[in-house]
């Protein structure tokens, strides 16, 4: 008998040693227990320090012990662990009482202490298998003892209250106080504290929203426990028990569709996730502090400008058009959750399409106050309907620092989460690429005031090329202002196709470019953010700056983990940059963008370029002032749907104009309306017509074989002539 007892004790101690050593499953190290951390949401801040979003798996706001009302502490200890301040993690008296209750079939309360419950939370345990649960219980007791050894009682209580769930995606006392009472934890009164502590026995069972009577009874039980433990008087308790439950309920859904800059936050999330993978952090649990470049005021004006200019804009394709694009339609069908769920359930293609052609009730986007409406429509027709809304991408940045100030990726994040600004979303850029070509020519010594032919030109291997019907000649700066296609291809002939492609890549454009004559007219697909980066060399006087949207990342304690600085490089000289600024001001003063200043009342100097692709399926405008650079794209996700949306000056430029109108009117922003572009010191006594290389100018004059007739047409030509070519650059 004695041998059996000794063997049992030795075996038990060996088992405890094996558990503690981690041989029977993961056991936290001492360092982790000394500084235990619950899963904490990472937070995102704007440039001025405003909280704009959170990334989390559990919606949690950790607080210190001093930030929690004593009423909560009293209610918790009185109800969950009366001997909390006497035991060292394991309450032998409670265990004995529980065992007696089990043997006599008269249970008198549980044996788990608050510290053990915390250990269970930290270990994320809760197996339903009896043997596995017994092993988990031993592990919880070991961890509880370690917690008591390394933490104060106050730290244990705070950590416990920061880990437990309260329903409605609320984890921790701060989230719970906010959700049910719209209060801070320090401000909770006795009855509110009792209600929340009572819910710990079952947040669904004692939910005060769904089961108010049940929740009130449980609250009153907690109040009775507080009387028993001398935390409140019987008379006070009686008065409190008679009060009704008063909630200020505001569930913390924190939808990623809502709030400031949802498209921007989406991009930041992906960027930080990549950083976390590289640096061994967890975006959703580590409580990182992410400081971004976004300016909340500018973002507000950008979103308002988009909403005002895009309101009601649709381009619904006919059934005949959809019939000729059946492949595109079916691809959209297969991308829906409805289709994927039906496939997982084992439905055949025929059964699925029958469902997609059956009318059903659903919510769809609509241009109204709620941005949605209830309707009865077939899922297939709903896809066609949703694809009829004209989309946009609009971005604003400081060209000097690279900081992105505003980012609007679409017309509504809830229904259209596809971001039209980021580098993975590419569209034909049309004439917005022309300033890059003209810049290369000027940087090679050609004067903005030289005459350029409007006649077709021969490209070896590609034949005679002249996409529009213009003939004669035009001054180079006017060719850019009026967006003359034939003049542009003649300039391409001057600098060479391959040289131009190489130059564009040097500007940070990573999208695939085709070395065809049409490359200078914007036949290739490039993202909004890439094009804006390329344009930074103009207001930045030759310096190309990569856009950044994160400035630094800190840990939950405020320690800086990494800072981010823009990538800057000189790509042209400041003289070339200033000449291009003057040329691009021509677009605004006399060219395709001449409506900008009078219609929106834009003050001060600004420059830019419009862009329109074949059949007006893509509209662009990229413009800048001495302080800010911004670009807008407008079109439908499927080009054939967006045919005829309008030229860049009428479809995209209004967003730019409305935004700058708003920021110029806001004196608090400190945006100057009288700024002008500074002339470089090296150009004193010169103007933009002076050639930096007279030999190159003479060579250009001879090569172009120009005549002297200046064209009067100031309308922007379709970038690929009057036919539908240009959607495939290999056609040229």
Does residue 601 carry a pLDDT above 80? yes
Assign 71 to helix, strand or coil: helix
Average pLDDT taken over every residue of the chain: 86
DSSP 678-689: PPPGGGTT--TT
Task: Tell me what pLDDT residue 545 has.
Answer: 98
Q: What is the mean pLDDT of residues 58-75?
A: 89
Lowest-confidence pick of 33-47, 228-242, 412-426, 580-594: 33-47
Does residue 588 carry a pLDDT above 90? yes
**Token couple for 148:** 């008591």
CB 420 within 8 A of CB 564: no
Q: What is the mean pLDDT of residues 142-156?
A: 83
Do both 398 and 379 map to the same domain? no
Dihedral-angle region of residue 280 (phi above 0 means left; psi in -120 to 50 means alpha; beta otherwise): left
Tell me what percent of the residues of the chain surpass a pLDDT of 70.
83
CB 520 within 8 A of CB 489: yes
Q: How far apart are CA 692 and CA 346, in angstroms?
A: 71
Q: How many CA atoms lie within 13 A of 579 on its CB side?
A: 30
Assign 671 to helix, strand or coil: coil
Task: Tell me what pLDDT residue 96 has.
Answer: 52
Do both 566 and 713 map to the same domain? yes
Do both 334 and 430 map to the same domain? no
Does residue 648 carry a pLDDT above 80? yes
Q: What is the mean pLDDT of residues 382-408?
A: 97
Do both 103 and 120 map to the same domain? yes
CB 453 within 8 A of CB 486: yes
pLDDT in tens, 159-191: 899 888 898 878 899 989 999 999 999 999 999
Do both 506 and 478 map to the same domain? yes
Do both 479 and 596 map to the same domain? yes
- Domain's final residue, options 241, 265, 296: 241
Does residue 394 carry a pLDDT above 70? yes
Indicate the helix (H) or strand (E) that contains 557. none
Burial class (CB in 10 A: 0-12, 13-18, 19+), 345: exposed
Task: Tell me what pLDDT residue 36 has.
Answer: 52
Cα distances (angstroms) measured from residue 303 to each of 122, 413, 670: 42, 11, 20
Question: What is the sign, positive or negative, of the torsion defined by CA atoms of 285, 288, 289, 295?
Answer: negative
Whether 573 is covered by a domain: the verdict is: yes
Residues whose CB falls within 8 Å of the CB of residue 211, separated by 6 or more in sequence, listed in order: 205
Q: Which pairing describes strands 289-292 and 360-364: parallel, antiparallel, or unpaired?
A: unpaired
Query: Where in the sequence is the domain holding 66, given as residue range(s)?
Result: 57-241
Task: Tell me what pLDDT residue 38 has.
Answer: 59
pLDDT in tens, 500-526: 999 999 999 999 999 999 999 999 999
Do both 471 and 594 map to the same domain? yes
Better-predicted residue by pLDDT, 246 or 145: 246
Does residue 420 carry a pLDDT above 80? yes
Q: Which pairing describes strands 289-292 and 42-45: parallel, antiparallel, or unpaired?
A: parallel
Whether 12 is covered by a domain: the verdict is: no
Does residue 126 carry a pLDDT above 70? no
Does residue 21 carry a pLDDT above 60? no
Lowest-confidence pick of 32-41, 282-291, 590-599: 32-41
Specify the residue for token string 């004695």. 2
Do both 361 and 397 map to the same domain? no
Does residue 479 carry a pLDDT above 70? yes
pLDDT band at 62 (very low <50, low <70, confident <90, very high): confident
- Domain's final residue, options 208, 241, 274: 241
- Domain's final residue, options 341, 369, 386: 386
Task: Tell me what pLDDT residue 12 has.
Answer: 47
Does residue 732 carry a pLDDT above 50? no
Cα 618 to the center of its chain, rounded Å = 24
Does residue 98 carry a pLDDT above 80? no
Whether 496 is covered by a domain: the verdict is: yes
What is the maximum alpha-carbon separation in the chain?
119
**Token couple for 545:** 């700056």
Find residue 24's DSSP bridge partners. none
Indicate the helix (H) or strand (E) that contains 396. strand 391-397
Do both 439 and 501 map to the same domain? yes
Does residue 620 carry a pLDDT above 60? yes
Does residue 468 carry a pLDDT above 60? yes
Task: Tell me what pLDDT residue 92 has.
Answer: 58
Closest CA to 240 of 255, 260, 222, 220: 220
DSSP 143-168: HHHHHHHHS-HHHHHHHHHHH-B-ST
Q: How far apart are CA 563 and CA 552, in angstroms?
A: 4
Whether 628 is covered by a domain: the verdict is: yes
Whether 552 is covered by a domain: the verdict is: yes
Do both 529 and 553 map to the same domain? yes
pLDDT band at 252 (very low <50, low <70, confident <90, very high): low
Do both 347 and 432 map to the same domain? no
Cα distances (angstroms) measured from residue 10 to each of 7, 17, 611: 5, 10, 83
Q: What is the mean pLDDT of residues 658-684?
A: 90
Residue 653, domain CATH: 3.40.710.10
Task: Tell me what pLDDT residue 724 has.
Answer: 27
Cα 307 to the center of its chain, rounded Å = 18
Task: Tell me what pLDDT residue 706 has.
Answer: 33
Task: Tell me what pLDDT residue 143 has.
Answer: 74
Task: Tell me what pLDDT residue 130 has.
Answer: 57
Does residue 2 carry a pLDDT above 50? yes
Whether 364 is covered by a domain: the verdict is: yes
Task: Tell me what pLDDT residue 715 has.
Answer: 37
Residues whose CB falls within 8 Å of the CB of residue 463, separated by 6 or more in sequence, listed in order: none
Q: How far apart are CA 693 and CA 691, in angstroms?
A: 5
Lowest-confidence pick of 37-51, 390-404, 431-445, 489-503: 37-51
Task: Tell me what pLDDT residue 730 has.
Answer: 31
Task: Tell me what pLDDT residue 436 has.
Answer: 98
Q: How far apart are CA 496 and CA 148, in angstroms?
A: 76
Lowest-confidence pick of 200-204, 447-451, 686-690, 704-708: 704-708
Task: Tell me what pLDDT residue 728 has.
Answer: 35
pLDDT in tens, 687-727: 767 644 333 333 344 344 333 332 333 333 333 333 222 32
Q: How far apart are CA 508 and CA 546, in angstroms?
A: 7
Q: What is the pTM of this model?
A: 0.76
Task: Tell me what pLDDT residue 605 has.
Answer: 96
Whether 509 is covered by a domain: the verdict is: yes
The phi, psi pair for 720, rounded to 5°, reads: -125, 30
Task: Tell me what pLDDT residue 145 has.
Answer: 77
Do both 376 and 473 map to the same domain? no
How many structural domains is the chain composed of? 3
Residue 97, domain CATH: 1.10.3810.10
pLDDT band at 367 (very low <50, low <70, confident <90, very high): very high
Whether 26 is covered by a domain: the verdict is: no
pLDDT band at 141 (very low <50, low <70, confident <90, very high): confident
């Amino acid at each position: 008998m004695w041998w059996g007892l000794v063997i049992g004790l030795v075996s038990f101690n060996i088992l405890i040693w094996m558990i503690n050593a981690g041989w029977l499953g993961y056991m936290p190290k001492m360092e982790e227990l000394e500084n235990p951390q619950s899963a904490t949401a990472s937070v995102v801040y704007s440039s001025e320090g405003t909280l704009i979003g959170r990334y989390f798996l559990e919606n949690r706001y950790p607080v210190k012990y001093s930030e929690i009302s004593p009423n909560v502490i009293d209610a918790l200890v009185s109800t969950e662990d009366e001997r909390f301040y006497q035991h060292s993690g394991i309450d032998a008296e409670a265990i004995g009482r529980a065992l007696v209750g089990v043997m006599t079939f008269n249970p008198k309360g549980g044996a788990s202490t608050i510290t053990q419950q915390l250990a269970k939370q930290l270990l994320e345990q809760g197996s339903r298998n009896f043997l596995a649960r017994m092993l988990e219980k031993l592990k919880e007791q070991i961890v509880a003892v370690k917690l008591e050894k390394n933490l104060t009682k106050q730290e244990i209580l705070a950590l416990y209250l920061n880990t437990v769930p309260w329903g409605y995606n609320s984890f921790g006392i701060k989230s719970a106080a906010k959700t049910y009472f719209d209060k801070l934890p320090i401000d909770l009164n006795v009855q509110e504290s009792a209600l929340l502590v009572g819910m710990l026995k079952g947040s669904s069972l004692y939910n005060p929203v769904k089961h108010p009577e049940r929740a009130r009874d449980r609250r009153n039980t907690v109040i009775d426990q507080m009387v028993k433990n001398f935390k409140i008087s019987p008379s006070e308790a009686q008065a409190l028990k008679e009060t009704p439950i008063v909630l200020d309920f505001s569930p913390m859904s924190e939808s990623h569709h809502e709030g400031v800059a949802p498209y921007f936050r989406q991009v930041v999330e992906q960027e930080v996730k990549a950083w976390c993978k590289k640096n061994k952090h967890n975006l959703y649990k580590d409580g990182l502090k992410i400081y971004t470049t976004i300016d909340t005021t500018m973002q507000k004006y950008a979103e308002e400008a988009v909403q005002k200019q895009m309101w009601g804009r649709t381009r619904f394709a006919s059934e005949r058009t959809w019939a000729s694009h059946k492949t595109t339609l079916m691809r959209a069908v297969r991308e829906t959750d409805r289709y994927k769920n039906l496939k997982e359930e084992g439905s055949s293609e025929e059964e699925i399409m029958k469902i997609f052609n059956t009318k059903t009730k659903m919510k769809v986007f609509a241009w109204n106050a709620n941005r949605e409406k209830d309707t009865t429509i077939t899922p297939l027709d709903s896809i066609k309907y949703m694809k009829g809304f004209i989309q946009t991408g609009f971005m604003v940045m400081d060209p000097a620092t690279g900081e992105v100030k505003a980012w609007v990726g679409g017309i509504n994040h809830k229904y259209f989460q596809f971001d039209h600004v980021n580098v993975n979303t590419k569209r034909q850029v049309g004439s917005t690429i022309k300033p890059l070509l003209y810049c290369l020519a000027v940087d090679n010594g050609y004067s903005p005031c030289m005459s350029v032919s409007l006649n077709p030109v021969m490209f070896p291997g590609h034949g005679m090329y002249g996409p529009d019907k213009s003939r004669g000649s035009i001054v180079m700066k006017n060719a850019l202002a009026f967006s003359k296609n034939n003049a542009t291809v003649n300039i391409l002939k001057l600098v060479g196709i391959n040289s131009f492609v190489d130059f564009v890549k040097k500007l940070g454009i990573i999208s695939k470019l085709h070395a065809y004559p049409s490359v200078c007219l914007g036949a290739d697909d490039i993202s909004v953010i890439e094009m804006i980066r390329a344009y930074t060399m103009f207001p930045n006087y030759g310096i190309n700056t990569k856009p950044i949207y994160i400035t630094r990342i800190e840990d939950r304690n405020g320690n800086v983990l990494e800072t981010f600085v823009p990538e800057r490089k000189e790509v042209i000289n400041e003289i070339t940059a200033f000449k291009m600024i003057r040329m691009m001001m021509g677009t605004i003063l006399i060219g395709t963008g001449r409506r900008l200043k009078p219609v929106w009342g834009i003050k001060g100097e600004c420059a830019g370029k419009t862009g329109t692709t074949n059949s007006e399926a893509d509209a662009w405008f990229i413009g800048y002032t001495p302080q800010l650079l911004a670009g807008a794209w407008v079109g439908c996700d499927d080009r054939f749907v967006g045919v005829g949306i309008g030229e860049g000056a009428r479809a995209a430029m209004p967003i730019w104009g409305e935004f700058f109108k708003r920021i110029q009117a806001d004196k608090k922003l400190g945006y100057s309306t009288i700024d002008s572009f500074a002339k470089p010191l090296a150009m004193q006594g010169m103007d933009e017509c002076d050639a930096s290389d007279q030999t190159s100018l003479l060579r250009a004059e001879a090569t172009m074989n120009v005549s002297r007739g200046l064209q009067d047409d100031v309308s922007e030509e379709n970038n690929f002539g009057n036919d539908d070519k240009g959607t495939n650059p290999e056609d040229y």
